[in-house]
Chain A
Amino acid sequence: MIVQQQKAKIATRDAFGHEIVELGLKNSNIYVVDIDIGKSCKTTEFMNRLPGQHINVGIAEQNGCGIAAGLATTGKIPFVSTYAVFGSLRMAEQIRQEICYPNLNVKIACSHGGLTPANDGGSHQAIEDMGVLRTIPNMTVIMGADYYATRRLVALAAEHCGPVYLRFTRDAVPVIYDEQDTFVIGKAKKLREGTDIALIANGDTVHLALKAAAELAEQGISAKLLDMHTLKPLDREAVVECLDIGKIITVEDHNIINGLGSAVSEVVAEEGRGIVRRIGVQDKFGESAPYEKLLELSGITVDNIVKTAKALLS
């Protein structure tokens, strides 16, 4: 159920930290492969409570990825945990060769997604990760919108047999769901019905789209809203349904190239009808700044979603 009055803010990396302990306690095949930054990726509790299911390879991402592949061949379900920029790009070829090519049951679970490692600067902000990994066959790519969505999606990823990339936020994001909300990998979650315009968002931008939809409603514009938590496999059917409205705005904390905007546009182009506007990182590296400032610099704001919607409708 959607919480309209937004409650506390929690970083979704905390959701991973909490859920992975529960999963590990229930299933001794759940492993965490840390790459030195367990404290930051919230795996310390797992390490302390389940040392027999924990490995720390030090600062060696590629090896961590290969070890996880080896573990998976013996029936373990390893979660490789690091920052999104390293977990996607530094180990991209290892993910391709040793995890996706043999279709092994390894999860890449990354904190610091998108612009959320804001103060760390452009070197640490992961704006290409989901796009790079969605091009690899057999890979599933997921980002939950908040704490509860992320906990559920981490649990679903553990049940799913095959490679999954999970992306979490470093910075706190508003809670919009509750414990009762259910999710299905590959099925968009419809947060609002609407008839004038369709908003499709993922991850830490869903709460912005939610606010924008409310604001549009006040101005007499009816906006549909989808939480596209699974970038791949994309819920094509849900996108096609938006074509009855015809005007779509995508919102993502990722480069507009090869992320959610691109994935949605691929469907729209193939269907041959409808129009898409992509809100996201405009193919530019970030810099050190408060998270909200970085979103603003990229136009990933409630105001810009509203403005874009009105321009599209005029």
Chain B
Amino acid sequence: MKQISIQELQQKAVELRQAALTMIYEAQSGHPGGSFSAADVIAVLYFKEMNIDPANPKWEDRDRFVLSKGHVCPILYAALLLRGFVPPETIHSLRKYGSPFQGHPDMKKCPGIDISTGSLGQGLSCAVGMAIAGKRDGKAYRVFAMVGDGECQEGQIWEAAQSANKYALDNLIVFVDDNGLQIDGTCDEVMPNLDLERKFAAFGFETRRIDGHNIEEIVRTLDEVKAANNGKPKCIVCNTVKGKGVSFMEHSVSWHGVAPKEEEYKRAMEEIAGGLQR
């Protein structure tokens, strides 16, 4: 874990959003909405919490991260870029031929990706497998996973959750990016999730619900659940806003998988930069 102030982390979240948006703008393809709802948790994980080494991405004692909602990889790529897992010019290669920044995360092509994802509902099972291996091998690494709220409609998420309980995976910390929206509308319209915090609690998790854009609260809650020491896997459900940080993208389904045009990009970059003052 690194010493870094809340203000510095907030600045990192700004840089992550800007880098992700730049990638999506240059590619004219990608998923800004969910990238921005996940950005603040990613900032805390990659700039403070996770024990990782960009010079040795396959270090066997590293903490793992599984982006189960793989389509928001631009925000993860931004973190890998700013942490130095890939060269700076990689920012220009999202979704391009030969790039480590594939349309969805590819562990064979991009250093720092712990498992390939892209088909929703499957990543959490992989995280469980990593966490079981860590326990069996007596290793201290933790496994962090991020799942989407819409993704929780996949039955396999709950298969994975029940196995995290069975194997008492207190080394597994799951974030739910609960932004309330999916491609066809609000989650409540498409398929209500009910209360995801209570659902994960019923599956044996130590749970919290927090403001997923409040860096201080993310940091504090992580410290709390780590201290729980009750053998339970952890789940932090994050109330988030799809498109967070750009006024015309916030709460908007239409920005799920659409790239900004030039004017929109410029305005969005300014709004993100100004986010600290808002």
Q: Which residues of A contact B (CB under 8 A)?
A: 52-53, 55, 57-58, 60, 62-76, 78, 93-94, 97-98, 101-103
The 7 nearest A-B residue pairs measured at CB: A70-B129, A66-B125, A63-B159, A67-B129, A74-B133, A70-B126, A60-B159
**Residue B183 CB within 8 A of the other chain:** no
Chain A nearest CB, measured from B252 CB (Å): 29
Could you mark each residue 107-128 of chain B with 1 if its beta carbon is under 8 Å from any beta carbon of chain A, else 0? 1100000111111011111111
* Cβ-defined contact, A57 with B159, below 8 A: yes
A–B Cβ pairs within 8 angstroms, 23 of them: A57-B159, A57-B163, A58-B162, A60-B156, A62-B155, A62-B159, A63-B160, A64-B125, A65-B125, A66-B126, A66-B156, A68-B129, A69-B129, A70-B128, A70-B133, A71-B130, A72-B129, A74-B133, A94-B125, A97-B118, A98-B125, A98-B126, A102-B115
Output the residue of A52, A55, A63, A97 with the most chain B CB within 10 A.
A63
CA distance A19 to B106 in the complex (A): 34
Chain A nearest CB, measured from B178 CB (Å): 22
* Cβ-defined contact, A70 with B125, below 8 A: yes
Cβ–Cβ < 8 Å partners of A58 in chain B: 162-163, 166
**Residue B249 CB within 8 A of the other chain:** no
CA distance A74 to B106 in the complex (A): 16
Q: A63-B156, A66-B126 are in contact. List 20 more A-B contacts (CB 8 A).
A: A52-B136, A55-B167, A57-B159, A63-B160, A64-B125, A65-B125, A66-B129, A66-B160, A67-B126, A67-B132, A70-B128, A70-B129, A71-B130, A73-B64, A73-B107, A73-B126, A74-B129, A98-B125, A101-B116, A103-B108
Q: Which DSSP category, helix, strand, loop or mixed, fits chain B's interface?
A: helix
Q: Which residues of B contact A (CB under 8 A)?
A: 60, 64, 106-108, 114-119, 121-134, 136-137, 155-156, 159-160, 162-163, 166-167
Contact A73-B137, Cβ < 8 Å, known A60-B162, A62-B156, A63-B156:
no
CA distance A63 to B127 in the complex (A): 11
Contact A76-B122, Cβ < 8 Å, known A60-B163, A66-B160:
no
CA distance A94 to B129 in the complex (A): 14
CA distance A77 to B134 in the complex (A): 14
Cβ–Cβ < 8 Å partners of B114 in chain A: 73
CA distance A99 to B133 in the complex (A): 17
* Cβ-defined contact, B127 with A70, below 8 A: yes
Cβ–Cβ < 8 Å partners of B125 in chain A: 62-67, 69-70, 94, 98
